[in-house]
Structure 1
Amino acid sequence: MNARFLETQKNLFQLFAEKKYQEALHLVQQAEDDFPSRIEKTYFWKACVYARLREFNKAVDCLNAGLEEGIWWNPHTLKNDPDFKEILNMEEFQRILDLCIERVEENNKSTIPKLQSYGNLNAEVGIFSIHWRGSSVEDYASYWLDEEMLKEYYFAFPQSSQVHSYNAYCWDNSEVATHELSQWMKDLKKKNPKRTWIVAGASQGGKIAIERSLLGLDYGSDFIAAIPAISEVDSFRQIIRSHNVSGLKGVIITGDQDYFFDKTKELSELLNESGVSCRLIVRKGLGHFFPEDFTRLVKESVVFIKK
C-alpha cells in the first residue's frame, strides 16, 4: 500500500467522520482511477457512501459489481458495518452475504501461510510483526517501513493462512495462529541465533504479540504493540499468575480515542505492577489507527527495550 493510497484512505475516513458524504463520493471516484488494483477497497467505500446518502440500490449495485469482478468481503464485516444497517434486510443484500460466506469457505481450503522479510540482513535487532485483522502483508508492512527502518532493522511479517476477505487475513483460530507463528519464529531463530527479536503487532496482532511475549513463546522476546485490541484484561491476569514475566519489556502505542483505550491502559498498569517494564505512548485524538509518526515511535520503542 503506497503513501498516496494511505493518504487517500485517511482523508476518506476524515470525511466520513465529518459526515461530508458527497465529498467522500468524489474522493472515492478519484481513487477508482488512481488505484485500479485496489477495487476491493474502492467498491466497498463507494457502497458505504451511497448507503449513507440513502441511495440504497446504488450501494447494493456497487457490492454486486465487485462480486462480478471476483472481489468479496467478510460477511461479518458487511453485516455489522453501521453504514449498511438500512439495507441489511434487503433481499439482494442477503444474497450478497450468502455469496461472501461461500467465498470465505472456498478460499479457506486453499490458502497457505507465508512469511515476508525486509530490511538489513545483518541487523542486530529483528522485528517480528503480526498483522492486524483483515489485512495482508503487503498492506500492513507499509506502516512499519521507511528508508531508515530498512537500514536499521530486519523485519519479518507473517501472513496467516486464515482468510478474512479478499486478499485479507486474520488470526481468529488461536490454535492455528499459535502453530504458524511459533514455527516461523523457531525458523528465524535457527537461521540467526545471535539476532535479538522483538515480537510486535497491531490491533489483533498487537494483542497476540503481548500474549506471546508474556507466555514466553518467542524465547523471551519483548514486545511492541500498536493499538492492541484489548477487550478484556482477565486473560492476561491468568497468564501472569502462571508465568514468570518479570524482566520483560514492552511498549504499547495507542490513542485516547481508540475504542480499546480504557482496557489497554488497564493492561499497561497491570503489566507494570507485575514486573513488566511497559511504556504506554498515547496520542491525543487518535482512534484505532496508526499515528502519523509511527515509525519514529517504533525506533524509540526499540531504544527503550534495548536499554
Structure 2
Amino acid sequence: MDGQARAAQEALYRALDETVSRLYAEGRLADALKAVEDAAPRIPSRRADTAHLAACLLTLTGRAEDALAALRTALDDGAWWSPAILVDDDDLADVRDLEGFAPLLRESTARHATATGVPLPPVVRRPQGAPRGVLVVLHGADQDAALAAEQWAAAVEAGFVLVAVDSSQRSTPLYRSWPDIGVGIRDITAALAELDEADASLPLLAAGFSAGGRVALLWALSDVSDVAVRPSGFLAVGPALTPAHLDEARRVRAAQGAVRGRMLVGEQDDEVTPEVYDAHAVLVDAGADVTLETIPGLGHDFPADFGRRLPGLLETLLVARPRLAGC
C-alpha cells in the first residue's frame, strides 16, 4: 500500500472512530454498528480495530456469538489484539463466556507477543542550516511517528533536528501507545542512537501529545541512573498525566530545578482534565519550573496556531544544560 492510500484509510478510520464514539455515548449502538459495518470494507489496514469495534457493539446488542465470529474471522485474516483488549474490555464480557473465546485469546496473544516490543527506525527531519538542538517528539495513543513529524514540523523550521519516535508497544497491528514508561524510554534511546555523532553535542528537548506528552515529561524527570540520555526540557500538549505518575523520585528531580517544562491543555479537554491540573500542581508545589497554559475552546488536540506558537515555546526551553545523564 502506498503512502497516499494509507493516509486515505487512516482518515476514514479517524472519522469512523469519532462517529462511533459519539453514537456510543448517545446510546445509539445499532447506528454505531451499522457505521462500522459500512466503513470496515474500505479500511482493510485497520482490520483488527474495526473488528474490535464491531465485536463490542455486537456484544452490547445481545449478539455475543456474532461478536466472537467477527473476531475469529478477523484473526483468520491476520488480525490480533493485545490480551488486555480481549480480557479487560467490559464490552466483551459476554464473549469471554463462550467456548471459542479461549483458543482465540491464545492465538491472538501469541501473535501480539511476537509483534510488539520491536523498535522501528525514527522519522528524522533536519533543518537546512546548522541545527540548534534536537527535539524528540512522541505521538499520542493510536497515532504514529509519521503523524507526529507533521504535527511538530515547525520545529525543523526553527532550527531543530526533529526525531519522531514510534512506540514499540502495540495493542493491535496499528494501535501504538506508551503504557510502560521503561519500554518507552528504551524506544527513545534506540531512536537517538540513529542520529549523527555530531548531534550528541546539541541541546536535547522532549515533546509529545497525550500519552506521548506524559512520556516526554516522565523521561525528562527520570533519575540519572535509569536513563542513558535525558532532555533538559519538555513540551507536552494535552498530556495524559495524573499525580499518580509522579513518584517520589520524579518529584525530587522536579524540585532540583534541572528541567524546564511547558504544558498546553485545552479548556474542553475532558480526556485529561482535571487530573492534569492536579499533576501540574504537584510539580509546582515541588518547585519545578513547569508552566501550564489553558487554551480556550480547545479539546484534546493541538491549538490551531500551534505552528506559530512552537518556536517561541522551544526558545523558552533552550537552556545550557548537559544532555547526558551522567553529567
- Consecutive unaligned residues of structure 1, counting only runs of 5 or more, are none
Equivalence map 1:97-112=2 (5 Å): 97-108=105-116, 111-112=118-119
TM-score, structure 1 length as denominator?
Answer: 0.79
Equivalence map 1:209-220=2 (5 Å): 209-215=216-222, 217-220=229-232
TM-score, structure 2 length as denominator?
Answer: 0.75
* 2:246 is aligned with 1:239: no
Indicate the SS of the match to 1:167. coil
Q: Quick check: 1:73–1:100 contact (8 Å CA) kept in 2?
A: yes
* 2:214 is aligned with 1:207: yes
Deviates more, 1:269-278 or 1:222-231: 222-231
Identity %: 15
The letter of the residue matching 2:235 is: F
Indicate the SS of the match to 2:257. coil
Deviates more, 1:223-232 or 1:66-75: 223-232
Tell me the equivalent position of 1:178.
185
Q: Quick check: 1:126–1:156 contact (8 Å CA) kept in 2?
A: yes
CA RMSD of aligned residues (A): 3.4
Equivalence map 1:1-307=2 (5 Å): 1=7, 2-108=10-116, 111-118=118-125, 120=127, 122=129, 124=132, 126-133=134-141, 135-138=143-146, 140-141=147-148, 144=151, 155-185=162-192, 188=195, 190-192=197-199, 197-215=204-222, 217-230=229-242, 232-235=244-247, 237-242=248-253, 244-245=256-257, 248-253=260-265, 258=270, 260-273=272-285, 274-281=287-294, 286=299, 290-291=300-301, 293-294=302-303, 296-297=305-306, 299-300=308-309, 302-307=311-316
Deviation at 1:45, TM superposition (A): 1.6
Indicate the SS of the match to 1:198. strand
CA 1:221–1:275 in 2, change beyond 3 Å: closer, same or farther? closer
Q: Quick check: 1:213–1:220 contact (8 Å CA) kept in 2?
A: yes
Residue by residue over 1:22-67, the C-alpha shift from the partner in whole angstroms, topping out at 9 and shown as x without a partner, is: 2212321232233232222222221122122221121111111110
Deviation at 1:181, TM superposition (A): 1.5
Deviation at 1:102, TM superposition (A): 1.4
| Cα separation, 2, equivalents of 1:233 and 1:99 | 33
The letter of the residue matching 1:226 is: G
Deviation at 1:18, TM superposition (A): 1.0
| Cα separation, 2, equivalents of 1:251 and 1:63 | 39
Q: Quick check: 2:206–2:231 contact (8 Å CA) kept in 1?
A: no
The letter of the residue matching 1:276 is: D
Indicate the SS of the match to 1:212. helix
| Cα separation, 1, equivalents of 2:239 and 2:36 | 26
CA 1:228–1:74 in 2, change beyond 3 Å: closer, same or farther? same
